[in-house]
A and B are shown apart, each in its own frame.
Chain A
Amino acid sequence: MIARRFKAPLFIAALIASFLAIFVLAMLSPVLFPVDLGATDLLNRLIPPIFLKGGQAKYVLGTDFLGRDFLIRLFYATRNSLLIAIAGLLISSAIGTLLGVLAGLLRGWVDLVISFVMDVLMSIPSIIIAIVLASAMEADSVTIALIVGFTGFASFTRLVRGQTIQLKEMSFIESSRALGASTTRILFEHVLVNISSPLIVHASMKLGSFILLESSLSFLGLGIQPPDTSLGAMVSDGRDHLINNWWLAIVPSLIIVIIVLQVSLVGDWLRDRLDPKLKS
């Protein structure tokens, strides 16, 4: 659907490789740079990167407004943004699958209530839900991951519910029931196995939007709190220095866009591979 060039195996391989490289490097930040993120150095604030006038070899990408190494902060920020988005993805797919299977298998009033709540959650913009939850909680990475996960599980529930209802009508499930298989056994051996590939596709499509949600929340000052940081928080910090130190806001902005592009192009490709039915 997107230009064919973006589907070439080499291009996809390069995308996946570059994403994995970013991911691994970001996860290794505490090993690569064992520093105290809160340590400031006001005598060395706002030093430009080495390739600009006034740059110093000690700080490859310069320093921020509190004299902290900008490159190191970028590493930690990418790490936090990815970790929170991935944790949110696990939380929302777990809650979503559980509720979806419940609604699809039990039907009746359980289904009515779950479906109603899902409709409501999906009609409210996720950033608003996240803002309301963040205003009522102490922000640390765990709560932010929970908030992101809670905000996004409705679409998983809807997907799993639909798939479960379809599967229930299938003859192989009926025959297995006739042979005396328990509901739990049917659930684990047939339902979960068969919904796994649309679920993986959906999760890969959601990862990008979770990264965007976390970075927006942090940008608004409602996500990760200083001295810890995330990509959105770095854009917010750099915004006041746009006029003289533009890279402080622009570089983390570009990293967000690059990661989300990688993730969504790979997600598109995965969808075409695993779930040709969904191709639009």
Chain B
Amino acid sequence: MTRFIVKHLLKAILTIWFIVTVVFVITRMSGDPTDGLLPDDASASVRHEMRVSMGLDRPIHEQYAEYLGDVLAFDMGDSYYYLRPVNELFAERAGRTLTLGVASFVIAIAIGVPLGVLAAIRRNSLADRWMMGFSVAADAIPGFVLGILLIFLFSLGLRMLPSGGSGTAAHYVMPLIALTLGSVANIARLTRSSMLDVLRQDYLDSARARGVRETAVIFKHALRNALIPVVTIIGLHIGALIGGSVVVETVFSFSGLGSLIVSAAQQRDFPVIQYGTMLIAIAVTFTNLLVDLSYGWFDPRIRKPH
């Protein structure tokens, strides 16, 4: 087990290093950042001064070493646009995005898993078909379209909810729906197909023959096995959640990390982009690590060397 953990931990660290390095290369390749920060008619000496103050005049390997140091210290310096430390900007907004993300995650599992189990048990029933139809439709609707439709319906039509902002609890309702609907559909569909696979297994019949109640067969014997692939997808789901929040926060002018990263990309605010991608890399990589480890816990067959 220790070797299993160490191997995966090393891979996680390598992954994060790789991502931050690629982002460094991309942002350095995109040209001189001072072009965007100074007016077009800035003199060469002003330009040079700015390059020196930003450390851009030094050899690239020194800049890269400093950047890696910044990454380790979780300090990317000041935002080009806000002229404030990047980590302060992120700290201010992290709470709102985390609230949104965690709530969406919990709701998606709480609705998606039972829905999938239900559809699998009552396969080909009307409920099953409706659920599958819903999941196909949900996949075809991008987050921003769903957001626009929600604003049209609830803010302009029914005048029930605020169309944008992030001040009160009411501001969370529509972003939450827009962020969660697709996840519910995906998790439900996956649980359904995984459950259908397990329901075919012989050991369930042998449990029934031993007189185990049907509810216990479904929930204790079948569901636990059916959830193994679901756990993996839920792990990958963190990525979808991050991607979704970037779009959804922008639609609803929700002041969180996602909208911060989008506006940074529009303004070429590279320290913010670097910090944001570093956090995303860490979040995604460590969720994958946790998934790999929990996989071994759920399914002891994986732990044993072949």
Contacts and interface: CB of A to CB of B under 8 A. Distances in A.
Interface of A: 1-3, 116-117, 119-120, 123-128, 131-137, 208, 212, 215-216, 219-222, 232, 235-236, 239, 242-243, 246, 249-250, 253, 256-257, 260-261, 264-265, 280
Most buried by B among A119, A131, A133: A131
Contact of B148 (A125, A135, A243, A253): A253
A249 B265 CA distance: 23
A1 B151 contact: no
B285 A123 contact: yes
- Majority SS at the chain A contact face: helix
A253 B152 CA distance: 12
Nearest to A134: B265
Max chain A CB contacts within 10 Å: which of B23, B148, B246, B273? B148
B261 A131 contact: yes
A-B complex: 4 closest residue pairs judged by Cβ atoms: A125-B243, A136-B30, A135-B265, A260-B140
- Of residues B151, B243, B288, which shows the largest number of chain A Cβ atoms within 10 Å of its Cβ? B243
Given A123-B285, A249-B148, A264-B136, A128 B280 contact: yes
A278 B67 CA distance: 45
B19 interface: yes
A127 B139 CA distance: 15
A124 B145 contact: no
Contacts of B199: none
Interface stretch (B92-100, B205-213, B234-242): B234-242
Given A246-B152, A249-B148, A3 B129 contact: yes
A19 B289 CA distance: 42
Nearest to A119: B15
A120 B18 CA distance: 8
B273 A132 contact: yes
5 contacts: A124-B19, A124-B280, A216-B143, A222-B266, A235-B148
Given A123-B236, A253-B149, A261 B140 contact: yes
Contacts of A119: 15
B141 interface: yes
A219 B247 contact: yes
A216 B136 contact: no
B152 A216 contact: no
Nearest to B288: A123
B55 interface: no
A131 B265 contact: yes
A128 B30 contact: no
A131 B30 contact: no
A253 B145 contact: yes
A120 B144 contact: no
A252 B139 CA distance: 17
A232 B129 CA distance: 30
A136 B18 CA distance: 18
Contacts of B262: 131, 220-222
Given A242-B151, A242-B152, A261-B137, 11 more contacts: A123-B239, A124-B19, A124-B280, A125-B284, A131-B265, A135-B30, A208-B140, A216-B247, A232-B142, A242-B148, A261-B140
B198 to A, nearest CB: 13
B6 interface: no
B144 A216 contact: yes
A119 B280 CA distance: 15
A57 B229 CA distance: 57
B156 A243 contact: yes
B187 interface: no
B166 interface: no
A250 B273 contact: no
B149 A250 contact: yes
B156 A128 contact: no
B149 to A, nearest CB: 7
Contacts of B140: 208, 257, 260-261, 264
Contacts of B19: 120, 124
B189 to A, nearest CB: 9
B274 to A, nearest CB: 9
Interface in B258-285: 261-262, 264-266, 268, 270, 273, 277, 280-281, 284-285
B63 interface: no
